[in-house]
Structure 1
Amino acid sequence: MHGTIRRMISLFAYIKSKEAVEYGRMYKSAFTRESPLNFENSILIHINKHGLTNHMELRNYFKKIGKISISKQAFSKSKEKLNPNVFKNLNNHLLTKFYGSNEVKKFKNHLILSGDGSKSTLPYNKTLENIFGGIINKFQELTSVAINLTTIYDCLNGFIIDLELDKYKTSEKELINRNMDNITKLDYLKDTKKIFICDRGFPSIEFFNYLLEKNEKFIFRIRKNSYKAEKTIMKTNDEFIDININKTRLNHIKNKELKEKLLKKEKLNLRITKITLPTGEEEHLISNLNKKTFTSNDLKELYNLKWGIEVSYDSLKNLFAIENVSGYSEIAVKQDYLSQILAYNIVNDLENTAQKILNQKTQNTKDPKPKKKKINKNIALGIIKEELIKITRLTEENTQKEKLIELIQEISKTYTQTSTTKSPRKPKRAYSTKNRTNNRKSF
């Protein structure tokens, strides 16, 4: 618990620091005058976002801090002063503290990082359409304004380490390359062993080579018809083979220098593992993990961890309301998306600590029919968004600590539970999807 509390207090202090203000200015004269919309409030309004109208977001925020609300026009104008990348900077500050602690979960001394992409829709607006484009139907008509985004997610610790977003037509492969470049520049991950996991949309000769040159470990799922010629010479379901590099496999690469460089290599020696699923279907993985340290069962387990990134996208869209943007400019969209990545990681840190407390309580009970208890993220999010801003306004560190402890203790009492013993199957019933109690929002 103390590690999380120290990180939260450090983050609150950093938001108020001159360093953060300097980083967060779009220009030198920004945030130099006394105003209700100073730098600190601008940051916290974004973190506290509920997916409501700007008027209600501002009303709710300023009501919490005991000040008169300002107009949505003033808010829109102030957004032009705020550098969206300041939220990446704040996120890195938080994650530096976490990955420098002894709380980090690893698999055989490796961080397990997953990369994946998602389409994300925005409100229809002509300006947003001109900036980002969107989804077009067979009649060449725009059906919705949308963007493409990719993230790097820590599968065991639950943090989103990096996000990149761009126009809808931007390929996910291009965005994931930006993510990888960003990751290599993070000081807190430089000396850490990592395994990158990606799905079928990302494998390519150039990506394999990029990771090999960076001395990074990886697992990709590949299609059954990928590298057919190489698979035919496999004698077992798990072995290293040479992946031939030829012009056909590099046709999509526009960079001539990269093409020539890869052709000179002629081949890459990689491991292909065929895994049989419970359904009888076969799944093919390609990696550079050595067989002595990582068995085929390890690879299967590691690839299954990738599911966490899918859950994170669902939370961002449906709980954090990341798509309900507060402005119709490129800067506004980036501010909203990047601020909610920071909000997600704050919630995850507090939730992880609450889960540890809950686990300890569960272990200490002598229930003959034990139940698996998990923190309810929806309720946890509602509580955190309700209380966190008030805690940031406290001036005494000891009082902040006390309130954070109370907050974590409260979250630990909000959980869902499932029995660890199997119960007889119940017949399926058709339920109305409207107004379902398990879909209610917590704020």
Structure 2
Amino acid sequence: MAAPYHKRFDLISNSLTSSHFHSIARFPDSPNSFTRTRKFPLNEVIYSFLFKRGLTATMEVYHYLKRKGSSVMTLSKQAFLSQRKKVNPEAFRFLNLQYLSHFYTQDTPKTWHNYLVFAIDGSRMEVPNSKENRLFFSQNGNRFGETSVRAQTSGLMDVFNAFLIDLQIDSLHVGEKNLAKKNLLSSESIPFQAPRLVLFDRGYPSLDLIHFIEKQKLSYLIRIPSTIYQKERAQLTSLDSSVFLSCTYSRLRTMKRVEPELAKDFEANKGIMTRMIQLPLENGQMNVFMTNLPATITREEILELYKKRWAIEKLWQTVKNKLKIEQVSGKSPVCVYQDFLAQSLVYNMVQDVMSHLNQKETKKKINENIAIGLWKDQLIDIVLEKDDKEKLLRFKKLEEDILRAVYLPRDLQRNKRKYKHHNKYKQNQKPSF
């Protein structure tokens, strides 16, 4: 019997040959791209992105044609790169949207108090140090005056279902809050069947973001730093109470500069009512959270939920160190967008397989690094297989191989982190492909 994720894999494969997808994959100024029959058609170009190993273009071509069954190399490096440059990065966003839409409408997603729980976080990504990228993404300097090219990214993740819902990529000059708004707007294209709750860390709290979230009819849980809303916090009478965040002159002045239209709404409403929850720490300090969740959900439940935000921190570690998302195959901003968005789709497909297999293991967990390596190695054989029965057998073999790489989670003692210089080749982060 086929697993639910098999249908989603087939959905992606079938989409690649549709005329609608061809139109999405073309750049607006190149309407004739992918209209002729070639040795390296669009669907195979997309596969080459998904199965990317981080090798030279020549070796990428060699490995792909070898797995495809070609006995000799009939595709030049130049032709390979020329075809890839024609792909609009939005094609990968479209495929990811299709994949996730199928899951949220055909499966039963995991929820918390009937909420789909998401987390938003930003991360700076390394990109090739080319002139184009320096102009587009800007440079990140250090105290010695040395600069390196970095892209600012922002991810929206479903923490219980382990999917990367949306990935935004932009210049370092674009703030995380603005990218977070783009994450939420982009996610509106997915037909979610339950109310949504978004978790934020200390870099996000602001009146304009809260107003935006409530306007989108979402719930939020935000950890706030000790330096803001001090007047309101001084008025708190309990560890869990409602408070009115007034729109003071200084807050309004900043808002008028950034979002003038939003400032007009605040002048009329005078502020926002929110719920503040405090958590006393052992060192005498206080962690404070803001939320618009109802009082029926207790303070203890909310504080326990915030710990789940750690999932998005693990996501960045996976895409950077295991999927090697920063090993971009070209030097232009378009190549950066292509590879980043393609690997976000790969991340979701791998997590889908792991979620399915983890249901069979009650105590043990799947080794994510090994699962990624096996997925990269075997899925090309699956998508190129024409016979349905043989394809199902290949899926089962992939599952069996992944299930051999399981481990028993250990609750280790938490010690203070030790910082030390690393060797070039790390012993605890070896690549799986």
TM-score (norm 2): 0.92
3-state DSSP of counterpart to 2:32: coil
The Cα shift of 1:25 comes to: 1.7
Distance 1:417 1:438, change over 3 A: farther
The Cα shift of 1:277 comes to: 4.4
1:410: which partner in 2?
401
3-state DSSP of counterpart to 2:287: strand
Q: For the residues of structure 2 that align with 1:234 and 1:278, how far apart are their CA atoms? A: 20
Q: For the residues of structure 2 that align with 1:197 and 1:214, how far apart are their CA atoms? A: 15
Q: For the residues of structure 2 that align with 1:263 and 1:442, how far apart are their CA atoms? A: 55
2:309: which partner in 1?
306
3-state DSSP of counterpart to 2:254: coil
CA displacement 1:23-65 (0-9 Å, x = unmatched): 2122321112222321011100001112222222222112111
Instruction: Give the one of 130, 133, 141 matched to 1:136.
Output: 141
Distance 1:406 1:279, change over 3 A: farther
**Quick one: which amino acid aligns to residue 184 of structure 2?**
M
CA displacement 1:417-437 (0-9 Å, x = unmatched): 2457x89x9xx9x99856554
Q: For the residues of structure 1 that align with 2:104 and 2:354, how far apart are their CA atoms? A: 17
State, as a whole percentage, how many aligned pairs show the same letter. 28
**Alignment partner of 1:224 is 2:214:** no
3-state DSSP of counterpart to 1:188: coil
Q: For the residues of structure 2 that align with 1:162 and 1:146, how far apart are their CA atoms? A: 19
1:39: which partner in 2?
42
**Quick one: which amino acid aligns to residue 129 of structure 1?**
R
3-state DSSP of counterpart to 1:9: helix
3-state DSSP of counterpart to 2:360: helix
CA displacement 1:4-35 (0-9 Å, x = unmatched): 22222222222232222222122321112222
CA displacement 1:388-418 (0-9 Å, x = unmatched): 0111011122322221122122212211224
**Alignment partner of 1:163 is 2:154:** no
**Alignment partner of 1:323 is 2:313:** no
Q: Which stretch has the larger CA shift, 336-345 or 279-288? A: 279-288
Query: Structure 1, unaligned stretches of length 5 or more?
Result: 360-371
1:95: which partner in 2?
100
1:365: which partner in 2?
none
Q: For the residues of structure 2 that align with 1:434 and 1:49, how far apart are their CA atoms? A: 22
Q: Which stretch has the larger CA shift, 397-406 or 106-115? A: 397-406
Distance 1:92 1:321, change over 3 A: same
**Alignment partner of 1:382 is 2:373:** yes
Q: For the residues of structure 2 that align with 1:268 and 1:206, how far apart are their CA atoms? A: 10
2:295: which partner in 1?
291
The Cα shift of 1:198 comes to: 0.8
**Alignment partner of 1:20 is 2:21:** yes
Q: For the residues of structure 2 that align with 1:312 and 1:79, how far apart are their CA atoms? A: 27
Q: For the residues of structure 2 that align with 1:395 and 1:103, how far apart are their CA atoms? A: 29
Distance 1:166 1:385, change over 3 A: same
Contact kept? 2:321, 2:429, Cα under 8 Å = no
Q: For the residues of structure 2 that align with 1:87 and 1:28, how far apart are their CA atoms? A: 18
CA displacement 1:283-304 (0-9 Å, x = unmatched): 1100101111x11111112211
Q: For the residues of structure 2 that align with 1:210 and 1:432, how far apart are their CA atoms? A: 43
Contact kept? 1:119, 1:149, Cα under 8 Å = yes
Q: For the residues of structure 1 that align with 2:74 and 2:387, how far apart are their CA atoms? A: 25
Distance 1:114 1:373, change over 3 A: same
2:348: which partner in 1?
345
2:216: which partner in 1?
214
Instruction: Give the one of 262, 266, 280 matched to 2:266.
Output: 262
The Cα shift of 1:96 comes to: 1.1
The Cα shift of 1:100 comes to: 1.2
Q: For the residues of structure 1 that align with 2:205 and 2:196, how far apart are their CA atoms? A: 18
CA displacement 1:211-235 (0-9 Å, x = unmatched): 1122210001101232111111111
CA displacement 1:326-354 (0-9 Å, x = unmatched): 11122111000000000000100011112
Number of aligned positions between the proteins: 423
Query: Structure 2, unaligned stretches of length 5 or more?
Result: none
Instruction: Give the one of 414, 428, 433 matched to 1:438.
Output: 428
Contact kept? 1:353, 1:408, Cα under 8 Å = no
Q: For the residues of structure 1 that align with 2:284 and 2:295, how far apart are their CA atoms? A: 24
**Quick one: which amino acid aligns to residue 110 of structure 2?**
K
Q: For the residues of structure 2 that align with 1:379 and 1:390, how far apart are their CA atoms? A: 18
CA displacement 1:121-173 (0-9 Å, x = unmatched): 1122222212211102346x452111101010000010000011011221111
**Quick one: which amino acid aligns to residue 70 of structure 1?**
L
Q: Which stretch has the larger CA shift, 227-236 or 337-346? A: 227-236
Distance 1:334 1:431, change over 3 A: closer
1:205: which partner in 2?
207
